[in-house]
Each structure stands twice: as C-alpha cells, then as structure tokens.
Structure 1
Amino acid sequence: MKKTLAIVFLVSMLSVILAGCGGTGSSNDEEQKNQSESASTQAIQENTGSKEKFVLNLAIWDEKLKDTVNQVIEIYKQDHPEADVQVTVTPVKDYWTKTQASLVGGKGPDLFMMNGPNFNKFASLGLLSDLQPLIEKDGVDTSVYPQGINELYKLDGHAYGIPFYLGSLGLYYNKELFDKAGVPYPDESWTWETLKEKAALLTNKEAKQYGYIAVNADQVGYYPLIHQAGGSVISADKKTSGLDSEGTINAIQFMKDLMDQGISPSAQQQLETEALQIFGSGNAAMYPGGSFDAFNLQKLLGDKLGVTVLPKGEQSGFYVHGSSWVINKQSKHQQEAWELLNLLTGKAGQELLAKNAINFPAYTDYVDLWAQSIPSLDMKAFVVSLPDAVAYPVSQNTSEWQKVMAASITEALTGAVPVKEAMTTAAQQMNEILSKDK
C-alpha cells in the first residue's frame, strides 16, 4: 500500500511540475495530464494485482468430496483471487442426465467429474475439451497415473480427462461378528469355496444376520465375480457382448445360490435396503466393496471394520475403474479451468484426497499416504490387489447396455427368468446396441 501511494504521489508531483513549466490552457498540457492519470491508474493496478473477476462452475456427484475440492479451490484462489468458484453437487442418479442436457444446450459447468461408462458418449458428442495440446504445452507427466486409467479417458489417442481417483476393491468384514462365531478373519488365501463355507457359519437367519452380501450392482457386485470366473462383459475390441459366456453365467449363478440359501440378502431385499446400509448397520459379516467405501464404513463400524483382498475364483482380480476431471468444450474460461484441473489432479489435490481418506488417489506417489489415512483400518489390501486388476468394460454407449445388463441380472437373481436364459437375452440386446457404435 505504501509503495502504491508513493507511486501515485510521484506521478501527481510530476504532473504539477510539468503544468508549472508549460503554463495553462495548452493542448500539450492536457495531453500530459491525461498521460499522467493513465500512468497513475496503471501503477495502481500493477501493484494491487487487480484483474477482471470471473466465475468457474464446477460439478461433482459425491457430497463427501466437497470439502476436499473446496480446500483445493482455496489453494487455487491464492493465485487467482479474482476467481469465484462455485461447486454444485448433484446425486449420481441425476448427474449424467442433467450434465449432458446442460452441455448440449451450450451451458453447463466449466469443469466437472467424469466416469468411464459415460466418457465415450460425452467425448463423441463433442462436449469435452481436448486436453492433449495443454498437456504437451505444459509438460504434464501423465505417467504418474496407472496406464489403464489414462487410456480410459482417451479418444483417438488424445486425452480428454486427467485421472482423479481409482476404485480399488476388497472384502470388508465385521470383526465382531467373526469373533462371536469363532470364525478366523478372511485373508488372501480365500477362494469362492472358502467364502461360501465360512459365510454359512456366519449366517443367523433368526437374527436376520447374513454371512455375505452378493451385491446386485456392477462395480462391486457381479463385475469382479464375472472376471474371477473367467467370464467377460465385453470383448477386447468392444464389438461383442460376453454376458452369455460360460464364466459370466457361472458368476451370476454363484450369486443366486448364495441368495437362495439365505447366506446373502436377496435381490428384492437389496432393492428395498441398499447393500452398503445392510453391512454398515451390522447385519452382515462380509461385503465386497470399494476403496471409496472405506471412509463411510469406518464411521459406521469403527474398530469393528476389517478389509482384505477379494476371494479368488478361476483367477484373482477385478475390473478397475476411476474418475477423472474434464473441461466443458463451451467454457469461456478454458485456461482458468485447466489450471484448476491441474491442481485437483496434481500433487496438491491428490495429497488432500489421500489425507482426507476420501478415496484412492490416482497419482501413485500418494497411494501409501492414503493407505495410512485411517489408522484403525489396514487398507493395504486395496494396494496389493491392483496388479491383478484389468480394464473396466466400456464402449461408446456403455450406459445403454448397462441398463439392459442390470435388468437381466436382476431378473435372474429374483428367479423371474433362469440365469442362462436371462444372460443369453442380455447378450443379444447388448450386441444390438454395440452394432450402433461408430
């Protein structure tokens, strides 16, 4: 402030001196006066860092991410005090429809979170900014993220999204229920057979306690089982469904058997009460969940909570998924949005994501920090299982065939349609959708 006042004072004095030397009323005097005032204004702006204000709209689907995102925004505003960053949280069930509609209408958020199933649709519609030129211009090192997640957000070899977090999977268990039943905690040696045997011992039908939850959902439910059974969801070239393969049918049948025997809540019960809620309320001994569930489950179960790697079938592993940040192609603030995106996906944002225990950071240097973020829970299982993970199944119209798949699997699990018949029908319908992909 003192420096600014000094500059203004000197400029003013200079104006007075020039006026005294040149007399009054001349055109030269007026021109010199205007130049002096302009110099004064410029000096003030340069020394106060004054810039034009702008608004950045940012969209996410997860409420528990909001605090971490706001912390990153505060860091961003240190270099962009003129920025007004507004965060909107929309529940995931409405997020994609509302976001797509707003973008197609020429509006929408400047910067928003993206997932694998919806990426190809948004990118092929021309709604996302091509980030490859910015990555190359700024020398951003994308090798700090797992290759599979990088590839998930590329179109024609160009990156349209930068990874934010991964969804590693593990088998959560309730230590208290295991201790009461006298059953040893699960570990990396467990197979499907071990799981079924031990889950039966942990089931108490009178107390409405389940040994395991065969989750009727894709990412944590039937997807890992399909992979472990040697089945597939979609072919490597993304042209053919794998829902009618022998391994896929065996995986769905395994789930149905557990439900029919009362070891797992039925598909109908899961429609009425979410699987995560059943486990979190202490009514199930085991739940196959994601790294993204650790934060909430630890709050619900505290020291009772444990986690290990998923039991193996014909093979180990699961389909790995992760979110990214993308930029609206219509945004009027491309550079500003890019700089905020870099903070969210770079060291600052990833360190905060890890420390806050919100989710598994995509930036590999911060994985160990995340694994230590909940001291009462040994989360190494999410890390050691990643080498067995494979790419998440997606295509251009993923969301369309996922609806078909989910409906057919629910019919199979409820017994409305035999498993093989349901999966054969689902594969046929999925193939019709895939044939329309460009």
Structure 2
Amino acid sequence: MNLKLGSFVLAATVALSVNGCWQKTEQTVEVEAEMVPVLDVYAGKNEEKNLKLLVQAYEKENQDVSIELHWIPDSEYSQQMMRIKNGESEADCIFFPEAGEAAIWKNKKILKNLSPWYETKNQVNASLYGDVEKDGALYMIPYRVGKICVYYNKTLFDSRGVEYPQENWTWEDYREKAGILTGWGNNKKVYGALGFENSSSWWMLPARTRGAFDPFKEEDLKMFRESAEWCHAFISESAEKTPYMSRTDDDWSGYHILFAEGRLGMYFGEDGEVNTINQELRKTGMNIEYDVMELPSWEGTEKADVYNTAVVAMAEATKYPEETYRFMKFCTGEEGGKILAKNRTVPFLQSPEVLKIYLSGTQIPEHAEYFLMDQAPRGLAVGTLHNGGIEVMRREVSMYLLGEQELEYTFKTIEEELAKLRVR
C-alpha cells in the first residue's frame, strides 16, 4: 500500500503593494495536508462496474483514505497472486470470483486472518467457513452470490412453437427443448443449446442439482459419472457440436453474443449476465425477449441449487489492516448491498431493503427473483484437495466428451488420481 499527499485550499487575505499603494486582496493558497493511505485493491475485470460504484461511494464518505483499483484478467489470477506473494506487487484487499479460488491462496499464506475484526453472526456466513477452518480462523467475507439459472430466448421459443421452461422442469425437458429449437434461421445456424463445453465444468450441473459436490465421496463421484454420461449423450444427440475453442478464446467474449443475435435458445449463467446481455442488445439493436428459469432437476429427486459465491479477502502483506477492513465491511454490508442491487447485481447480504431495490430495478428479465438465494450455499469455501479433485475430473471428462477416451477408462483414471491426491 502507498501513501498519497492530500491537500486543501485556503482562501487567504494577503496585503500587496501595487504602484506603491497597499491594498488587500484575496488569494488562494494550497496547503499540504496529512498523508492519506492508498489501498491497493485487486479484482477481476468483470467486477469493474460494481467496484467503481462502491469505491466512489466509500471515498465520498471516508476522505481519510484513497483506493486504487487494479484489474486482473480471468486467466491471470494465479500470476498476480504470486506477484503479491513474492512482494512484487503491493496489495491490501483482493476480490475473488469464487470462494474456492480464495481458499487456494489462503493455503499459500497470501490472505490475512480476519478473526480480530470479523465474526460470523449467522448460519449462512458460518457455512462459508465450515469446510475449511477448524481453528476459528476466518479469511474471507461473502460479497455477492451468483445462483446459476438457465437463460432462454423467448423470441426463439415463440418462433419454434416451444413452451417456455416451467418451474419443476427436468433435465429431460431441457434435452427435448434443445433438440426442437436447433435448426436454421435467416440462413444461419440456430442452436437450441451449445451442449456442455468440454473445457469447463458445465457438464457437472446435472450432478450438482442432485446435491453432488465432493469428488472424494463415493456417492458424489457416482453422480458425477452419471452426469458425464448423460451430457455425452446430450451432446451427441440433442445439442449441436460447435467449435468450442473458437468461442472461448480471448477474442470471443461469451455465449451472450450468440444469444443476443437470436441464434442461441438456452445457456447457463449467473445474474451478472443480465447487464452483459442488455448492453449487447443495446449495442446491436437486436430486438429479442428473454427470461430466466431455475436449473432443471431430475424427476423424482429434490433439486439442489448451484451457486458461485464471490468473496473479499485481506492481503497478509497489508500495512493498514484497519482501513482495509473498514472498506471490506462497507462493500459486504447493507450500504454496499444497496449499491450492488441498484446495479442489478445480487449481493450476498439479502436484507428486505436490498431485495426490494434489486427486484424493483430489474424489469428484464421478468423473473429476476430466481437469482435470489433461498438456501444457504453448500460448501462454498473449499480447499486445495477439493479443487485438485475437481480439476482431475475436469481434465479427464473433457477428453471423454471429445470422444478421445471411454467412460470406464475416464473414471478409472479419475479414481486413481484422487487416491494419489489423498495421500499427499
């Protein structure tokens, strides 16, 4: 963290001699004030609008501190964290897109224990730490929550005569709708769904909605296997295979572009996609209607919601922990929640006033309430072991979805790799 010279302007009455005559005149004199702490705050580029609004409001109320924002490309979080760890970059506060990502860097001693300042005062917050900390140490505060839903193109559904998704719909309903929506329109390919992109974790969603979370648990791993098999069939039979890499590199910013063009029927996303889609529609002048629905479930089973929870943490190297914590508390508290809600972002803190602001300001999509948290997210803060297991599954299942290896071989390899991780 740095220090910045603050200054203020005084109006002073100065006696001047003009042509030998003395007269009084008012003159402005800049006087140096005390040094003001500058907090170095790091966050992903997708947090830019939210954080600029938060910082603007915070600095207006707290003129004894200045905040400098640093944006981290999604692909460079690890590099930036290592620069902070090695002392190459000064840091006070870090926003992470997922609690699991923060847990990795907590284990690498980059994050500061917040116990002297922060106490979990309700069960929702307590669940954030339950999977990681056994000694009462706290390293992150929930900032916003992203409940994953299905975005669907109402205009495309209408043109194909397909019924909109309804509450309690199933994954088989999803498969059927995707197949009917796929075809051609205005001499261009139209996709009901883009399948389960092989380098991501979207293929895990059918298992996650059954409650699967931990690949080291036999029951959960079985559900992940069944999910992979179902998604393989879905991609082969009901969804179009697309050149995934050309749609996920740095030159292509996301599924929302295809969606805004009216060429994509459904895709998965958090509430943050709303601002992105609406901006794309304004930019292109496209006239489509869309809405959101909760994730499908499996018939005869109770559905578990799937969340990504963004968190904020304090850097171990900060020289001004008190000032840093005050800023963190503002962002994650009632005032910060209202600011996020006005920007159509769902904060983790969902008080009645915050919810009222969010719902009254989000007319599109119509059913924005599906993004709200109606249960405590399960297992938000995970450690290196869990993340390692997820990465093993991601790597091996991607090869299976590409048709490069068989299901039996894929999960035999996964089990062997998980066993190695356990003994490290």
Q: Normalization by structure 1: what TM-score?
A: 0.77
Letter in 2 for 1:363: L
Q: Are 1:224 and 2:205 counterparts?
A: yes
Change (3 A) 1:149 1:393: closer
- 1:33 aligns with none
Per-residue deviation, residues 277-325 of structure 1 (Å, max 9, x unmatched): 4434322211122222222123335751110111111431233220111
Decide whether the 8 Å contact of 1:241 with 1:430 is kept in 2: no
- 1:272 aligns with 246
The structure that is helix-richer by fraction is 1
Q: Are 1:408 and 2:387 counterparts?
A: no
Q: Are 1:434 and 2:416 counterparts?
A: no
Change (3 A) 1:388 1:420: farther
Structure 1 residue matching 2:375: 3-state secondary structure: helix
Q: How does 1:361-372 map to 2 (within 5 A)?
A: 361-365=347-351, 366-372=354-360
- 2:71 aligns with 89
Structure 2 residue matching 1:133: 3-state secondary structure: coil
For 1:411 and 1:319, the matched residues in 2 are separated by 24
- 1:10 aligns with none
Q: Are 1:324 and 2:311 counterparts?
A: yes
Match of 1:186 among 151, 157, 165: 165
Match of 1:234 among 205, 212, 215: 215
Change (3 A) 1:146 1:225: farther
Mean alpha-carbon deviation: is it higher for 361-370 or for 180-189?
A: 361-370
Change (3 A) 1:195 1:376: same
Per-residue deviation, residues 215-249 of structure 1 (Å, max 9, x unmatched): 337987123211235644434xxxx576741x212
Letter in 2 for 1:75: A
- 1:296 aligns with 276
The structure that is strand-richer by fraction is 2
For 2:53 and 2:212, the matched residues in 1 are separated by 42
- 1:23 aligns with none
For 1:271 and 1:189, the matched residues in 2 are separated by 33
Letter in 1 for 2:233: D
Letter in 1 for 2:105: F
For 1:101 and 1:387, the matched residues in 2 are separated by 37
Change (3 A) 1:308 1:72: same
Query: Deviation of residue 397 (structure 1)?
Result: 4.1
Letter in 2 for 1:396: T
- 2:337 aligns with 350
Query: What is the count of residue pairs matched by the alignment?
Result: 383
Query: Deviation of residue 255 (structure 1)?
Result: 1.3
Change (3 A) 1:389 1:342: closer
Per-residue deviation, residues 363-407 of structure 1 (Å, max 9, x unmatched): 0112443233321212112227x4385334833244444332222
Structure 2 residue matching 1:364: 3-state secondary structure: coil
Larger radius of gyration, structure 1 or 2?
1
Q: How does 1:19-418 map to 2 (within 5 A)?
A: 50-63=33-46, 65-105=47-87, 107-114=89-96, 115-135=98-118, 142-143=121-122, 146-149=125-128, 151=130, 154=133, 156-204=135-183, 207-216=188-197, 221-229=202-210, 231-235=212-216, 240=217, 244-245=221-222, 247-261=223-237, 263-266=238-241, 269-274=243-248, 276=255, 277-301=257-281, 304-313=289-298, 314-357=301-344, 359-365=345-351, 366-377=354-365, 378-383=367-372, 386-387=374-375, 390-392=378-380, 394-418=382-406
Change (3 A) 1:353 1:217: farther
Structure 2 residue matching 1:390: 3-state secondary structure: coil
Structure 2 residue matching 1:360: 3-state secondary structure: coil
Mean alpha-carbon deviation: is it higher for 157-166 or for 316-325?
A: 316-325
Query: Deviation of residue 86 (structure 1)?
Result: 1.0
Aligned residues: CA RMSD:
3.3
Letter in 2 for 1:425: T
Decide whether the 8 Å contact of 1:145 with 1:362 is kept in 2: no
Query: Deviation of residue 129 (structure 1)?
Result: 1.3
For 2:180 and 2:343, the matched residues in 1 are separated by 36
Decide whether the 8 Å contact of 1:62 with 1:92 is kept in 2: yes
Letter in 2 for 1:382: F
For 2:169 and 2:68, the matched residues in 1 are separated by 47
Structure 2 residue matching 1:135: 3-state secondary structure: coil
Change (3 A) 1:229 1:364: closer
Mean alpha-carbon deviation: is it higher for 284-293 or for 76-85?
A: 76-85
Decide whether the 8 Å contact of 1:168 with 1:320 is kept in 2: yes
For 2:393 and 2:209, the matched residues in 1 are separated by 18
Decide whether the 8 Å contact of 1:142 with 1:150 is kept in 2: no
Query: Deviation of residue 53 (structure 1)?
Result: 2.1
Decide whether the 8 Å contact of 1:170 with 1:310 is kept in 2: yes
Per-residue deviation, residues 41-81 of structure 1 (Å, max 9, x unmatched): xxxxxxx9943222211000134x22331232233323543
For 1:257 and 1:2, the matched residues in 2 are separated by 70
Change (3 A) 1:264 1:2: closer
Query: Deviation of residue 349 (structure 1)?
Result: 1.5
Per-residue deviation, residues 393-423 of structure 1 (Å, max 9, x unmatched): 8332444443322221211111111123213
Letter in 2 for 1:361: P
For 1:388 and 1:270, the matched residues in 2 are separated by 33
For 1:244 and 1:189, the matched residues in 2 are separated by 25
For 1:102 and 1:388, the matched residues in 2 are separated by 32
Q: Normalization by structure 2: what TM-score?
A: 0.80
Give ranges in structure 1 of 5+ residues lacking alignment: 7-47
